């Protein structure tokens, strides 16, 4: 225990607040399981009506307590947003958490606001990417940036709070706006990846398959991927192209299912919809493509690295921190179909290059992105905020509380 903290008579209550149960399961369930293993009482809050009763039952069966709260991911209706804060206030009063970990922009701001009012002193906020508001410089984008900046300044700048960014670019962008103190911010690269579940295997000896695994959003570069696939098909370059993911009705940039079906009907791409078997998908794939406009640290690129697959992605925040151009994949300009076509053509026609880049990607995953590495960083932060020693006397890495 820390020198100023008495021995606890009960388990530390850790509350995760996320904006969707499926993304919590895919990105942070492993972290919640590790918290259970270390003796925490784990609670998870997800929006009311998040329709996944099978997942709720499975989580509760593992000893995780699930709560609902009000959140509308889409839009900024003032009454709905105030209701979100009030809902979190009620939740904090009921759970009485010792430590709260809010994930994504809205939960970080609203959860931080509620924590300030409720007197919850130890709060971690993970910003998984700056999102739509920071993907442009129109008047609307600038207004949203100011709103987000003001929200972070009020809710995440207090003593006892830490804000995690998933790449250095996002951290520096927020710091440049003088929103947060550098001492309260750190970088943890992504949500971890199970390097045993995602392990390299030779791809099938068939026409190379290129997959874009993501939510089907315009800012993931889906339209550019479809255009590149059509161009390569017109050139008779051997390759199949698959969109792996579904529409996201809670996101204003969601691509309608009708549009996805239309693209698939034109023949250049296949649309596989939402899939839960990502290790199997990556075993079938020869190349992974994510032509995004901006990310935090996309889990699919970490999974692709662990699976030993080469990547084509964009030279934007969150993607360029994972891919070294020409080493484990190619970086192309965002929104540029010609660049995308050239990079994909090169990989589709050169099997030895795909193998070499895939091997380099696997080495990267083992060195930087494994669950074990991310776990050490996250729990060092948790125990430092709690002023407690981790189990088995493992030292707390206090350097994890600041930038690397």
Cα gap 311→251, rounded to integer Å? 26
Range name among 9-23, 47-61, 303-317 with the lowest pLDDT average: 47-61
pLDDT of the residue at 105: 86
Banded model confidence at residue 6, pLDDT cuts 50, 70, 90: very low
Question: What does the mean pLDDT of the chain come to?
Answer: 89
167-210 per-position pLDDT tens digit: 898 898 888 888 888 888 999 999 999 999 999 999 999 999 99
Cα gap 67→21, rounded to integer Å? 11
pLDDT of the residue at 238: 97
Residue 333 region by backbone torsions, left for phi larger than 0, else alpha for psi between -120 and 50, else beta: beta
pLDDT of the residue at 7: 55
More confident residue, 139 or 353: 353
Banded model confidence at residue 157, pLDDT cuts 50, 70, 90: low
By C-alpha distance, which of 15, 19, 27 is closest to 64? 15
- Three-state DSSP state, 208: coil
Q: Would you kindly state where each structural domain of the chain is located, as residue ranges? A: 13-192+370-401, 209-368
pLDDT of the residue at 178: 81
The residues with which 101 forms a beta bridge, in sequence order, are: 16, 124
> Per-residue pLDDT averaged across 13-35, rounded?
94
The residues with which 401 forms a beta bridge, in sequence order, are: none
> Per-residue pLDDT averaged across 54-67, rounded?
93
pLDDT of the residue at 141: 66
**Domain 13-192+370-401 is found in CATH 2.40.30.330:** no
Q: Quick check: 13 pLDDT over 80?
A: yes
Neighbours of 336 (CB within 10 A): 16
> Per-residue pLDDT averaged across 326-345, rounded?
98
Question: 283-304 burial, b for 16+ CB within 10 Å, e for fewer?
Answer: bebbbbbbbbbbbbbbbbbbbb
By C-alpha distance, which of 291, 300, 369, 296 is closest to 331? 291
Cα gap 26→276, rounded to integer Å? 9
Q: Sheet of 329-332: strands edge to edge?
A: 270-271, 240-244, 209-213, 287-290, 311-314, 329-332
Q: Cβ(117)–Cβ(155) under 8 Å?
A: no
- Given the structure tokens 């199949």, which residue do they identify? 240
Cα gap 357→286, rounded to integer Å? 11
Q: Quick check: 219 pLDDT over 80?
A: yes
Tokens of 195: 């390097």
Share of the chain above pLDDT 70, in %: 90
Beta strands in 225-361 (DSSP E): 240-244, 270-271, 287-290, 311-314, 329-332
pLDDT of the residue at 136: 64
> Per-residue pLDDT averaged across 149-165, rounded?
79
Query: Comparing 13-192+370-401 with 209-368, is the CATH topology the same?
Result: yes
91-103 per-position pLDDT tens digit: 999 999 999 999 9
Instruction: Count the alpha carbons within 13 Å of 219 in the hemisphere toward its beta carbon.
Output: 16
Q: Cβ(327)–Cβ(304) under 8 Å?
A: no
Q: Cβ(398)–Cβ(45) under 8 Å?
A: no
Q: Quick check: 337 pLDDT over 50?
A: yes
pLDDT of the residue at 37: 95
- Given the structure tokens 């932060």, which residue do they identify? 381
Write out the H or E segment, with its range, that includes residue 280.
Answer: helix 278-284
Q: What is the pTM of this model?
A: 0.85
Banded model confidence at residue 80, pLDDT cuts 50, 70, 90: confident
Superfamily of domain 209-368: Glycogen Phosphorylase B; (3.40.50.2000)
Cα gap 85→20, rounded to integer Å? 17
Q: What are phi and psi of 388, to 5 degrees?
A: -130, 155
> Per-residue pLDDT averaged across 131-141, rounded?
67
| Cα distances (Å, whole numbers) of residue 381 to 103, 215, 369, 377, 393 | 15, 30, 17, 6, 15
Q: Quick check: 85 pLDDT over 70?
A: yes
Residues 6+ apart with CB under 8 A from 245: 212, 213, 214, 215, 216, 273, 274, 275
| Cα distances (Å, whole numbers) of residue 19 to 66, 141, 228, 229 | 13, 22, 32, 33
Q: Quick check: 394 pLDDT over 90?
A: no
119-134 per-position pLDDT tens digit: 999 999 999 877 666 6
306-327 per-position pLDDT tens digit: 999 999 999 998 999 999 999 9
Q: Give 383-390's long-range contacts (Cβ < 8 A, gap of 24+).
A: 385/99, 385/122, 385/124, 385/160, 385/162, 386/2, 386/5, 386/12, 386/98, 386/99, 386/122, 387/1, 387/2, 387/4, 387/5, 388/1, 388/2, 388/5, 388/8, 388/12, 389/1, 389/2, 390/38
Q: What are phi and psi of 144, to 5 degrees?
A: -65, -40
> Per-residue pLDDT averaged across 145-153, rounded?
77
Three-state SS string over 49-64 comes to CCCCHHHHHHHHHCCC
pLDDT of the residue at 397: 42
């Amino acid at each position: 225990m820390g020198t100023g903290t008495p021995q606890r008579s009960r388990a530390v209550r850790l509350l995760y607040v996320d904006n969707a149960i499926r993304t919590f399961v895919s990105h942070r369930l492993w972290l919640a399981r590790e918290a259970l293993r270390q003796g925490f009482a784990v609670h998870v809050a997800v929006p009311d009506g998040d329709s996944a009763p099978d997942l709720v039952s499975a989580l509760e069966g593992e000893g995780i307590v699930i709560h609902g709260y009000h959140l509308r991911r889409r839009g900024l209706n003032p009454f709905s947003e105030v209701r979100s804060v009030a809902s979190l206030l009620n939740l904090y009063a009921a759970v009485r958490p010792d430590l709260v970990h809010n994930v994504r922009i809205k939960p970080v701001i609203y959860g931080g606001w509620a924590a300030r009012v409720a007197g919850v002193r130890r709060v971690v906020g993970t910003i998984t990417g700056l999102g739509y508001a920071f993907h442009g410089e129109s008047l609307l984008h600038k207004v949203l940036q100011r709103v987000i900046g003001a929200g972070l300044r009020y809710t995440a700048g207090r003593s006892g709070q830490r804000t995690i960014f998933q790449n250095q670019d996002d951290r520096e962008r927020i710091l440049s706006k003088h929103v947060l103190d550098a001492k309260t911010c750190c970088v943890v690269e992504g949500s971890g990846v199970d390097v045993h579940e995602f392990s390299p295997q030779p791809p099938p000896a068939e026409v190379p398959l290129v997959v874009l695994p993501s939510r089907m959003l315009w800012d993931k570069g889906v339209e550019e991927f479809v255009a590149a696939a059509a161009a390569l098909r017109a050139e008779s370059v051997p390759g199949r192209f698959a969109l792996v993911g579904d529409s996201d009705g809670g996101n204003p940039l969601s691509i309608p299912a009708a549009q996805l079906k239309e693209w698939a009907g034109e023949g250049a791409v296949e649309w596989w919809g939402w899939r839960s078997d990502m290790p199997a998908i990556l075993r079938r794939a020869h190349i992974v493509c994510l032509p995004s406009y901006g990310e935090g640290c996309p889990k699919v690129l970490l999974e692709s690295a662990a699976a030993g697959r080469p990547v084509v992605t964009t030279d934007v925040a969150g993607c360029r921190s994972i891919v070294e151009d020409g080493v484990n994949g190619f970086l192309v300009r965002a929104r540029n179909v010609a660049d995308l076509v050239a990079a994909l053509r090169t990989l589709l026609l050169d099997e030895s290059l795909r193998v070499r880049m895939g091997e380099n990607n696997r080495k990267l995953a083992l060195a930087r992105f494994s669950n074990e590495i991310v776990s050490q960083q996250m729990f060092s932060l948790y125990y430092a905020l709690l002023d407690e020693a981790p189990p088995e006397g493992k030292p707390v890495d206090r350097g994890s509380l600041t930038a690397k």
